């Protein structure tokens, strides 16, 4: 993955010179997590280096917007704000009208609702903005446990990892149980192999989660960024329940295929939609792995069916030969 500096470098117009001032303005802007007005940025820059003029800062800000490093947002305050666009996941905003701070979130339910609406109208979306205006907890009560938000990128990676971990856990429970109940020896081997893979994936995901925690020890207590109702309990949770009701080998494979397909589609759909980020990478890697699992189960299901058919062919012929005698 390229670093922010590489990205900024790649956006520089051909033939234009590297400018120390501009680099400094860009770095200062990218180091911020909130939504700055142009005046906020001017104050920040000039506090650090009063030789940089307001005009240079404005010009650089416009250049960042054109280069898609920054993005203009309008919270209805009569002036624009700017947030980073580079590796910033798509999101919606809660906006406090008292202190003018804003809080970012993303919800799968809102996204699927929007999809449904625009599809039914045959509408092509260029931009969708959701803003919730109100008063934040700190302005309402004078204190907040959820005040310091941390970076959206990191919250996103944290929440993506949580969804992936919940899915792996439910997958592990599913395959462990399936391996116990199937009667076919080959089917049992497949389920055991998948349970083993889920264990390995879980360890990898947990390790990445711990790395994020090391970067930000408060991370566990920060507010949620991603709201994924359907996936929060793990996509295989319903499959585990179905197994408990008692199923035969074919049905167990079919439930596994359905869960893997659901999981693959879920991670692919959101992974494709996210801006380039750690969260996107986690979702897309996961989508690939689920696809491989699904293909394995489909192959196993076909093989099992073939075995059943050939066993049936053998048995009736034996039956006929007995009758003939
Ligand atoms: Zn507030
Ligand atoms: Zn934002």
**Interval 30-84: pLDDT, tens:** 888 889 999 999 999 999 999 999 999 999 999 999 998 999 999 988 899 999 8
| Of 74, 54, 65, nearest in space to 26 by CA | 65
pLDDT at 322: 45
18-86 and 152-314: identical CATH topology: no
Q: Pick the ligand that lies closest to the CA of residue 134.
A: 1
Could you tell me which residues come within 8 angstroms of residue 53 by beta carbon, excluding any fewer than 6 positions away?
none
| Of 243, 254, 92, 231, nearest in space to 163 by CA | 231
CA of 91 to the centre of ligand 2 (A): 6
Both tokens of residue 236? 């295989």
| Of 129, 136, 76, 55, nearest in space to 102 by CA | 136
CA of 68 to the centre of ligand 2 (A): 14
Q: Pick the ligand that lies closest to the CA of residue 106.
A: 2
**Among residues of the chain, what percentage have pLDDT more than 90?**
42
Domain residue ranges in the chain: 18-86, 152-314
Q: Pick the ligand that lies closest to the CA of residue 144.
A: 1
| Cα dihedral across residues 220, 102, 275, 7: positive or negative | negative
Could you tell me which residues come within 8 angstroms of residue 119 by beta carbon, excluding any fewer than 6 positions away?
none
Q: What does the pLDDT look like over 268-314, one tens digit per residue?
A: 987 887 777 777 888 899 899 999 999 999 999 999 889 888 888 88
Q: Which CATH class is domain 18-86?
A: mainly alpha
Query: Is the full-model pTM beyond 0.95?
Result: no
| Of 237, 239, 238, 235, nearest in space to 251 by CA | 239
Q: What does the pLDDT look like over 62-73, one tens digit per residue?
A: 999 999 899 999
CATH 3.10.180.10 fits 152-314, yes or no: no
CA of 318 to the centre of ligand 2 (A): 72
Q: What does the pLDDT look like over 211-270, one tens digit per residue?
A: 989 988 889 988 888 887 766 667 788 888 888 888 888 899 999 999 999 889 888 987
């Amino acid at each position: 993955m390229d670093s922010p500096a590489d990205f900024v470098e790649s956006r520089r117009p051909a033939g234009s010179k590297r400018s120390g001032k501009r680099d400094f303005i860009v770095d200062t802007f990218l180091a911020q997590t909130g939504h700055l007005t142009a005046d906020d940025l001017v104050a920040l820059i000039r506090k650090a280096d009063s030789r940089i003029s307001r005009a240079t800062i404005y010009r650089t800000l416009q250049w960042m917007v054109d280069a898609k490093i920054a993005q203009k947002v309008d919270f209805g305050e009569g002036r624009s704000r700017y947030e980073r666009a580079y590796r910033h996941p798509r999101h919606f905003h809660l906006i406090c009208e008292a202190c003018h701070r804003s809080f970012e979130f993303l919800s799968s339910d809102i996204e699927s609702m929007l999809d449904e609406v625009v599809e039914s109208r045959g509408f092509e979306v260029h931009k969708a903005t959701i803003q919730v205006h109100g008063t934040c907890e700190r302005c309402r009560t004078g204190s907040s446990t959820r005040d310091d938000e941390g970076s959206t990128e990191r919250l996103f990676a944290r929440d993506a990892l949580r969804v992936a971990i919940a899915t792996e856990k439910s997958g592990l429970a599913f395959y462990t149980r399936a391996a116990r109940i199937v009667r076919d020896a080959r089917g049992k081997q497949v389920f055991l192999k998948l349970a083993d893979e889920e264990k390995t994936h879980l360890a990898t995901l947990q390790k990445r989660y711990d790395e994020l925690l090391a970067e930000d020890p408060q991370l566990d207590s920060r507010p949620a960024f991603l709201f994924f109702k359907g996936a929060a309990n793990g996509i295989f949770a319903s499959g585990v329940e179905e197994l408990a009701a008692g199923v035969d080998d074919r049905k167990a494979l079919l439930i596994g295929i359905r869960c893997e397909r659901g999981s693959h589609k879920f991670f692919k759909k959101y992974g494709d939609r996210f801006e380039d980020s750690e969260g996107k990478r986690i979702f897309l890697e996961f989508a690939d792995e689920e696809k491989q699992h699904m293909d394995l189960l489909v192959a196993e299901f076909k093989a099992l069916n073939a075995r059943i058919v050939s066993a049936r062919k053998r048995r009736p012929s034996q039956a006929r030969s007995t009758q003939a005698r």
